[in-house]
């Protein structure tokens, strides 16, 4: 349930105002976005804020959540997104959530569009 609530909160924030996502990261957080690596809350928010679209809408197709042996939560999301007037694209996103100072934060995140470059 924590994983599902986090996913809902994340995409609501991302779609409404992605500059507000800093609250879910800590300085040790890591993001891999389409193969590019970013570490730290500031670097992650800067990357997400600078993405080249004005509006975006995510639609979640499936999500899976697992507890890890060290009391974290691993969440994998599959869905579709529509940015500005571009075509709808599939995506995959994975989050590792950890309880930190009384709140759940994202320590690791990996994002890929579901594109097949053959």
- Residue corresponding to tokens 């993001």: 31
pLDDT at 118: 54
DSSP 61-115: EEEEEEE-TTS-EEEEEEEEEEETTSPPEEEEEEEEEEEETTEEEEEEEEEEE--
Question: How do residues 45-72 score in pLDDT, each as one tens digit?
Answer: 999 999 999 999 999 999 999 999 999 9
Alpha carbons 41 and 38: distance in angstroms, whole number = 9
Question: How do residues 15-48 score in pLDDT, each as one tens digit?
Answer: 999 999 999 999 999 999 999 999 999 999 999 9
Alpha carbons 11 and 58: distance in angstroms, whole number = 7
pTM value surpassing 0.75: yes
CATH numeric code, 1-113:
3.10.450.50
Buried b (16+ CB within 10 A) or exposed e, 17-50: ebeebbebbbeebbbebeeeebeebebbbeebee
pLDDT at 9: 96
Question: How do residues 79-111 score in pLDDT, each as one tens digit?
Answer: 999 999 999 999 999 999 999 999 999 999 999
Structural domain boundaries in the chain: 1-113
Provide the 8-state DSSP code for 35: T
């Amino acid at each position: 349930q924590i994983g599902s609530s986090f996913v809902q909160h994340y995409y609501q924030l991302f779609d409404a105002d992605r500059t507000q996502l800093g609250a879910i990261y800590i300085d040790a957080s890591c993001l891999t976005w389409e193969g590019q690596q970013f570490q730290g809350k500031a670097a992650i928010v800067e990357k997400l804020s600078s993405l080249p679209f004005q509006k975006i809408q995510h639609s979640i197709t499936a999500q899976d959540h697992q507890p890890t042996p060290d009391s974290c939560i691993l969440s994998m999301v599959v869905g579709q997104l529509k940015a500005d007037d571009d075509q709808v694209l599939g995506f995959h996103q994975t989050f590792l959530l950890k309880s930190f100072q009384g709140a759940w934060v994202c320590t690791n995140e990996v994002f890929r569009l579901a594109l097949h470059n053959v």
